[in-house]
Amino acid sequence: MASSRCKLKLSGNAVLGAMNRWQNLYKNELEVVIVVVVVVVVVVVVVVVVVVVVVVAVVVVVVVVVVVVVAVVVEVVVVVDVVVAVVVVVVVVVVVVLVVCVVVVVVVVVKD
């Protein structure tokens, strides 16, 4: 009888040990999944920000070229001032959006 109790106790410990290992493995896998999700979100945000910056830069260049051509052909100075003001506003808005995106990414990464 004593030997069967000892075997039962050992097998019980083995089961508990296996459960603890499974729980630790699950916990580690969950942490890995969280890290992967955070990295993917950061990469997506960075890609979106880069695309927005490139698109805005292209639009600004096109607007400046059109304004210069119109100013040379028609010799209108007022239009140039208006377009320069619009370009400055667009650049300021883009910079503010970029700063907000960077702050959000930093907060998300630091929080996790």
Give me the percent of the chain exceeding a pLDDT of 70: 66
- pLDDT score, position 8: 47
pTM of the model: 0.47
Q: Locate tokens 């993917």: which residue?
A: 40
Rounded-to-integer distance, Cα 56 and Cα 90, Å: 8
User: DSSP label at 36?
Assistant: H
pLDDT in tens, 39-68: 787 778 778 877 887 787 788 778 777 777
Domain range list for the chain: 2-111
Local confidence band at 24 (pLDDT 50, 70, 90 cut-offs): low
Is pLDDT at 12 greater than 60 in this prediction?
no
